[in-house]
Amino acid sequence: MSSAAEMSLVHGPPGYRPNVGLRYLFIDFNAYFAAVEQHDHPGLFGRPVVVAPLASESSGAIAVSYEARAFGIRRGTPIREARRLCPGLAVMPARHDRYVAVHKQLMDEIGRHLPLVKVYSIDEAAFRLSRSEEHPRAALVVARAIKRGIAENVGPALRASIGLAPSRLLAKLAAERNKPDGLTVLEIADLPRRLAGMPLEEIPGVGPGVAARLARAGVHDFPALWRLQPKQARAIWGSVQGERFWYALHGYEVDEPETKKSMIGHSRVLSREHERPCEARVVGRALLLKAASRLRHYGLHARALTLAVRLRPVGRWEGARRFPPTQDSFSFLRVFDALWAAFLDEARCGRGAPAPRCGGVTVYLHDLAAEGAAELAQLDLFAPSDPAADRRARLWATIDRINADLEHKFERLGGGSKTGEKRRRYVTLARQQGLDLDYLGAKIAFSRVPEEAEFLY
């Protein structure tokens, strides 16, 4: 290898800094939702537990404890099937506000030891090791202190796997190595040997499309991926992201760009009581109002709405409509009703056909633009004044403030309460009253942690 090439590998281009020692601790909480239920209900500790989106036998598991996995239960397993596989199974309805509250406690505890770099999801985060902690022996002392602090100060049910490595990507791969409750050091000198058997699709940044392009380039395993050069990775990925991936994989310090919201949405698995179209429509409208409230909270406007309905026993319908950029919930509801009518027309497949049975509803607002964005400002120049629109904007701003009254509605989020009393909703659509919508909107995607206020709108 030429000296120039050697310099490229050692130092990288501007903006990429090589890490010689262990600079990152990545923590991955094992079966997190189920672990929180075991933490809050000591009688479940050590027992098989699954978390379901709602108290219904027709739903599927969204979290599975390791004790339940031993019976062959996985995420997505129908609850009826899970009970058949494990007669002693505990099925707990999801309590996402509680999971966020415990997440905050865990981050505070780990923050006593190390500075937080980034929260990746409700159960994953990266922390920075200092220069004095980058040697494996010192890094392991810190990691064990964190595990001990979690067990003693938060709870022993909340087990975590920890990875220690020069980059965040490698630290995450290390954390995946020895679940549950693992602790793994991964140094550059260990590679590619230590990860030789890892399927490429399990590496963050290698999705199905990239995996297919890697295969066409003759890259089928981790050692072959490791042998690529930065420019080769860039060509395979088709963007600079491939080169950034290469440097992170080889232990370099790579700044991760901030991601922009591309959509805001919510979904709900429907119980048998809500599978009729008239009831499913009410849930869908409530989901939409929740998404619209979040849209305004983030100062965004939407230009498209998508509705998807999962049918029972099988089938799916999806439709979308575009419209001028808006934050107005009434406008969104009109679009939703038009989409719902189209769904019913297609699902019934003719006059006299039985009404469809709905197993789930998803709504999301997309093609987003921030307030003050150039395209919105340009539209405002040519839009006539609309007093009614201004009144609606003030109305929804007032409703959002009422529903986000933290002083009166936030008592049980993060204060250590494990169950608490049900919260009152101050402003709802009248038709929603009486429905079990406690965890309607703040469903946690594994790629983000909801803000506390999202549970209060």
pLDDT band, very low/low/confident/very high, at 267 (cuts 50, 70, 90): confident
Q: What is the pLDDT of residue 364?
A: 93
Domain count of the fold of the chain: 3
Identify whether residues 25 and 39 lie together within a single domain.
no
**pLDDT on residue 18:** 63
- H-run or E-run covering 18: strand 17-18
**C-beta separation of 448 from 263 below 8 A:** no
Q: Does the pLDDT value for residue 15 go beyond 90?
A: no
Q: Kindly state whether residues 124 and 7 are assigned to the same domain.
A: yes
Q: Please indicate, yes or no, if residue 344 is contained in any of the structural domains.
A: yes
Whether residue 36 lies inside any domain: the answer is yes
The confidence band for 271, taking pLDDT boundaries of 50, 70 and 90, is confident
CATH number, domain with residue 89: 3.40.1170.60
Residue 394, domain member (yes or no): yes
Domain boundary among 184, 219, 253: 253
293 and 429 inside one domain: yes
- Answer whether residue 258 is part of any domain: no
Full domain range(s) for residue 84:
32-96
Whether 354 is in a domain gets the answer yes
Structural domain includes residue 109: yes
- Per-residue pLDDT, averaged over 64-74, amounts to 97
Q: Per the domain annotation, does 139 fall within a domain?
A: yes
The answer on 384 and 332 residing in a single domain is yes
pLDDT tens, 89-109?
A: 999 999 988 999 999 999 999
Which of 53, 77, 96 is where one domain is finished?
96
Q: Are residues 103 and 151 in the same domain?
A: yes
Q: Are 335 and 246 found together in one domain?
A: no
Residues with a known catalytic role: 124
Share of the chain above pLDDT 70, in %: 77
pLDDT band at 391 (very low <50, low <70, confident <90, very high): confident
Same domain flag for 124 and 220: yes
CATH code of the domain covering residue 238: 3.30.70.270
Question: Residue 29, SS3?
Answer: strand
Which of the four pLDDT bands, split at 50, 70 and 90, describes residue 347?
confident
CB distance 292 to 327 below 8 Å: yes
Rounded to whole angstroms, how far apart are CA atoms 339 and 334? 9
User: Please, what is the Cα angle at 102 between 114 and 154, to 5 degrees?
Assistant: 65
Within this chain, do residues 248 and 274 fall inside the same structural domain, yes or no?
A: no
Strands 252-253 and 183-185 turn out to be unpaired
